[in-house]
Structure formats: structure tokens, C-alpha cells
Amino acid sequence: MSISFRQPGTRLVGKVVVVTGAAQGIGEATARAVAAEGAVVACLDLQADAARQVAESLPSSGCLGIGLDVADEDDVVRAIAEVRDRLGGIDVLINVAGIAGPQHRAGETPVDEWDRTQAVNLRGTFLMAKHCLPDLVARRGNIVNVASALALVGWPQESAYGPSKAGVVQFTKAVALDYAPDVRSNCVCPGAVRTPMITSVLRDHPDPDAALADYGSIHPLTGRLAEPVEIAQAIVFLASDDASFVTGVALPVDGGFTAT
């Protein structure tokens, strides 16, 4: 079997890539990174106007910005149908959309907040995959999900977020096995990343800057927060043919955090 690899900047030429959570943070960085590799990108996000602004700023022609609540199946079906109608099909699905959820011990976690965290982070990942898989199978495409380093290790007061992301890891593996050889399915597990999500978690902290520095210090490699583009570059690798023999992987992109 002959394997060939595209040069950087061309690794996703001719591909239609759907990115959820594309309005900001890792999702926006990912949309920009896959567009830089030649993909036509459908930017999906609950913030519809911001998603459209990101899409309009991308270098590829034909990129779309679409409003979407990933936890709402009817909304997912509608958005995917719009992508198909306007772009002809889907080659790669990148599930980034997620929320931090409540930071409480299990006994103090409100049930509705726990449910919402699972609905966005895990149900949303499932719904997007479920309804994109017909295209991905037909086009021998792939899925990249964004989980978290907290899917792999415990962390205090994360009884909702960590389990939701651990579910994403196991769902990734299930899809990899169920849909081989037609579809590859992988996920990345970021450490602490400089995004609006982490800022929102710390909005009530008496010294947010010091708290951000503490989060950065968990990474032995750098002692700093990751930048969204550093996660996006790992996603691009998994989405491209450079990862043609990679499936079912939960790849830590965490500056060595889970190695400790």
C-alpha cells in the first residue's frame, strides 16, 4: 500500500470540515487552522453572529457560519442539513463545543447544572456524530472530539465536567471500533487553555490573574497556560491524512500534566 502525505498548508484541501464551538477559544482557533490547510469550514456555535463573523474572516471561499445548540437534536439535524445543502457533504467533524459546568463537590452540585453539562459536552458530541456519520462513512471521513485532561485524571470540585469529558473519550473509542475501517475517530485532551471558558470559571475569584498563573503551573513542560492554537494544531494532525493509522486515541495535549 502506498502512503503519501500532503505538504503543510494543503493537508485538508478539498475537504468540508464542520467545527462546533467555532465562535471563540479552541473552536475558533481550530476553524482558522483547518481553513489554513485548505478546508472549507462550517463554523457552528450557539453564538450565531460570532460564528458567521469567524466564517467570513477565513481564507477559504464558501465557509459558513451557522447558529446551533448542540444539545438540541432538532437543531443539530437542521444545521447539518444546511451544511449538506450548501457544501455538498461533510468530510471531517470536529466537536469542540462545551461548557465548564458547575465547580462543586458532588453533594453540592445542582442537578440541573449537572444535566446541562452532560447535555452540551457529551450529548452534543453524540448528536453531532450520529447525524454526520452517514456522510463520514460515505466519504471515509473522520471525527475529532475535544475532551479534556480532566477526562483522564481527577480534579477537585469537578464532579460534572470531568465525567462529561470522560464520556467523550469512551464515545470516541466506541465510534472508532464501530465504524472502522470507514471512519477514524479520535479525541484530544487539553490541559488548561487560555480561553473564555477558563476566564468564566474564575470570574468570581478575588485574584483572577494569580489563579490563571496557578492553572498554568500544572504543566511541567511550560509552566503556563496553553494557547488555543496549540490545541488546534494537534486537531489538524488528527483530522488529516497524516494520522491515517490513528484511531480510537485520546491524545493529551497538556504540557505533561497527566504524566505527573
Block residue for cell numbers 462543586:
104
Looking at 54, 99, 126, 161, which residue is catalytic?
161
The pLDDT of residue 6 is 67
Question: 4: which residues sit within 8 A by CB, 6+ positions away?
Answer: none
Cα gap 199→20, rounded to integer Å: 20
- 20-76, pLDDT tens digit by residue? 999 999 999 999 999 999 999 999 999 999 999 999 999 988 999 999 999 999 999
Q: What is the CATH number of domain 16-191+229-249?
A: 3.40.50.720
Q: What is the pLDDT of residues 191-235, one digit of tens each?
A: 989 888 877 777 777 787 888 888 889 899 999 989 999 999 999
Q: Say if CB 120 and CB 160 are below 8 A apart.
A: no
Question: The pTM is what?
Answer: 0.93
**Mean predicted confidence (pLDDT) in 238-246:** 97
Residue-range domain boundaries for the chain: 16-191+229-249, 194-225
215 belongs to the catalytic site: no
For residue 72, give the DSSP letter.
Answer: -
Query: What is the per-residue pLDDT across 83-138, written as a single tens digit (0 to 9) for each?
Result: 999 999 999 999 999 999 878 888 888 999 999 999 999 999 999 999 999 999 99
Burial of 105 (0-12, 13-18, 19+ CB in 10 A): exposed
**How far is Cα of residue 199 from the mean position of the Cα atoms in its chain?**
18
**pLDDT at 5 (0 to 100):** 63
